[in-house]
Chain A
Amino acid sequence: MATALSRQRVVERAGTRTSYRFGSPLRKSQRVAGYLFVLPTFALFLAFVLWPILYTAYLSLTSWGGFGSPRFVHFDNYSRMLHDPVARRALIVTLVLTGVTTAVLTFLGLVTAVLVNVIWSKVGVVVRTILFIPGIVSFVVSAVLWKLIYDPNIGTLNRLLGAIGLGSLQHPWLADHKTVLPAIVVVTVWGGLGFNMLIYFAGLHSIDPNLYEAAEMDGANTVQQFRHITVPSLRIVTGLIVSLGLLNGFKAFDVIFVMTGGGPNHGSEVLGTYLYSLAFGSTSGSIPQLGYASAFSVVTMVLCTLAVIAQLWLTRRADR
């Protein structure tokens, strides 16, 4: 698949890159139209994407409570970050949650896609829909729903455990340092699985069936076929799924904000929730720390950029 893709790309490039000749009236009207068509989107981009990126980078070098003008403090916010135990906790939790969620989502996505691909196609349609529906409702809805399920007193999880005689396992799931992170992973996986399954499912369909036939003739069993044909053929898809998983992990906010607010005692604090509480205040009356919070914005952006670069790099390697 890799070579087919790259060949297609070369053809595509050759097709769209028409030679550019100055002076030709046809080319000139294309040039004018091109800029006019792109201009509105680009203007919005400059004002509400590029400018905010630069502005937050600048703010991260200042100390500012929102009134008066920001005071330039060099890299103080970043060195403060290194000594702030909550910041360290938030960074570690972000990385751990992202890593674990991405790994579980990638693995389960592939497994469910393979299984859905095997079963009778009519059942497959139903299964695909059931797995996908959690992904189309908002994070707020899923977070509220799961918060009720995890509720320590009347939550369904504890009640079910009691009903089947496992009352000793009952737990205040979101109020305990040890269980709050796994509980969040469950919610994120629940919401993200259908998407990954569907992308893998499409990837499976793009594998040349002749490969499997040839392997079968050579006497390869199902597991060998999976390891030596399926997994390598899906490398580009896996790269995409992993990088999307990393991106979603680094920017995590909604589910944690709604379910725990970063608690208990910063136990589930991530970069997103911490910068939000620094800037917009979890406790009313405290002065917003816009400079320090912006430093976390910058860290988040750097992490997201790294995830995308890693994906481009992996795809290019798989392409060769």
Chain B
Amino acid sequence: MRNKWIGKSFATFVLLPFCLLMAFPFVWMLLTSLREQNTIFNGPIIPRKFTGVAYKDAWTSIDFPLHFWNSVWITSVTVIGVLIFATLSGYAFAKLDFPFRNTLFVLLLTTLMMPSTALIIPLYLELKSLGLLDSQAGLLVLYISGSAPFAMFLMRAFFQTLPDELIEAARVDGGSELTIFRRVILPLTRPGIATVVIFQFLSTWNEFLIANTVLRNTDALPLQPVLFTLMGQYSTNWPALTAGLTLSVVPVVIVYVRMQRQFVAGMMLGAVKN
């Protein structure tokens, strides 16, 4: 018993300073966003006076609300689109029997190892020839097609945990496959859907490379590319810059804290099945 106590104390003793280091950049970000611009060069590291003026700067000067809503809109449509594609195909791969099922599945999984860094050139050219360059529609198509296979993989792992007897019984009762999917399966899918939603939300909200490449029209831009340009624009106005960063992080932290349980569960599902 005493031994255990020593172990716990030792672990805490090691972890606490480490946690402080890990948390430091965020604490610093908050402190900087709340200080006065003229104190960043020689003021104390922890400011004596706090002010919210930087948030007003960031909010008004770069049209923050516009880009914020662009991000909300793009993320929402992507999440819904990915959900539709992934539940349908994930269910088919988990519970329906058809020829070449495994071949198609493995083919789709190759998407997971093809990074957008490597595909950005052909994707850019493809959107250009489709006339979808510089439009949010084009961005959405790329987001949904790039993410659907991973979400399909998660949903398939989830559907596999549902008992076959459920579907068999519905078939014997004469339900068509679509009816079974809608009436029997979908109502049971909420935990799986929650997992996909949070994963998709985080990855779409945070995506930078594709958005920065295929959208040149500034009014259509979501937040991440705007934060990048903000860095150049406000290279010395650190309070406004860090205020912008903080504002962009708020939705992510809220969603994560509220859905932490599903997130961890989903990671386990993905990790174990992998």
Contacts and interface: CB of A to CB of B under 8 A. Distances in A.
Interface of A: 12, 15-16, 18, 20, 26-27, 29-35, 37-38, 40-42, 44-45, 47-53, 55-56, 59, 112, 115-116, 118-120, 123, 127, 129-131, 133-134, 136-142, 144-149, 154, 156, 159-160, 163, 190, 193, 195, 198-199, 202, 222, 237, 240, 247, 250-254, 257-258, 271-272, 275-276, 279-280, 290, 293-294, 297-298, 300-301, 304-305, 307-308
A134 B22 contact: yes
Interface of B: 7-8, 11-12, 14-15, 18-19, 22-23, 25-26, 28-29, 32, 40-41, 45, 84-86, 88-89, 91-99, 101, 104, 107-108, 110-126, 141-142, 144-146, 148-149, 152, 160, 164, 171, 176-178, 181, 202, 205-209, 213, 224-225, 227-228, 231, 238, 241-242, 245, 248-249, 252-253, 256, 260, 264, 267-268, 271-272, 274
A226 to B, nearest CB: 12
B208 A140 contact: yes
Contacts of B116: 251
A37 to B, nearest CB: 4
Nearest to A66: B125
A18 B47 CA distance: 68
A275 B123 CA distance: 14
B227 A49 contact: no
23 contacts: A12-B160, A33-B92, A33-B181, A34-B98, A34-B101, A40-B88, A45-B149, A48-B123, A119-B12, A138-B224, A138-B252, A140-B208, A140-B224, A141-B245, A145-B25, A147-B231, A148-B32, A240-B271, A258-B208, A297-B121, A300-B115, A301-B118, A305-B113
Contacts of B126: 47-48, 51-52, 55
A52 B123 contact: yes
Contact of A199 (B25, B84, B242, B267): B267
A308 B110 CA distance: 10
Contacts of A40: 84-85, 88-89
A298 to B, nearest CB: 8
Q: 7 smallest A-B Cβ distances: which pairs?
A: A251-B115, A34-B98, A33-B177, A138-B206, A52-B122, A44-B145, A37-B92
Contacts of B22: 130-131, 134, 190, 193
A112 B17 CA distance: 12
Contacts of A222: 7
Nearest to B128: A66
A199 B270 CA distance: 10
Nearest to B252: A136
A40 B151 CA distance: 14
A37 B176 contact: no
Contacts of A156: 28, 45
**Max chain A Cβ within 10 angstroms of own Cβ: one of B12, B32, B104, B114:** B114
Nearest to A29: B177
Contacts of A148: 32, 238, 241-242
Summarize A's interface: helix, strand, loop or mixed. helix
B160 A199 contact: no
A258 B235 CA distance: 13
Contact of A146 (B25, B92, B110, B111): B25
Between A41, A53, A308, the greatest number of chain B beta carbons within 10 A of the residue's beta carbon is seen for: A41
Contact of B89 (A42, A130, A133, A160): A42
B119 A53 contact: yes
Contact of A20 (B99, B104, B122, B267): B99
Contacts of A145: 25, 28-29, 242, 245
A112 B18 CA distance: 9
Given A290-B121, A298-B118, 6 more contacts: A50-B107, A118-B11, A131-B19, A144-B231, A149-B25, A258-B208
Contacts of B110: 49
Contacts of B241: 144, 148
Most buried by B among A33, A56, A304: A33
B14 to A, nearest CB: 6
A278 to B, nearest CB: 9
Most buried by A among B89, B96, B144: B96
A20 to B, nearest CB: 6
Contacts of B176: 29, 33
A135 B72 CA distance: 20
Contacts of A47: 126, 145
B177 A144 contact: no
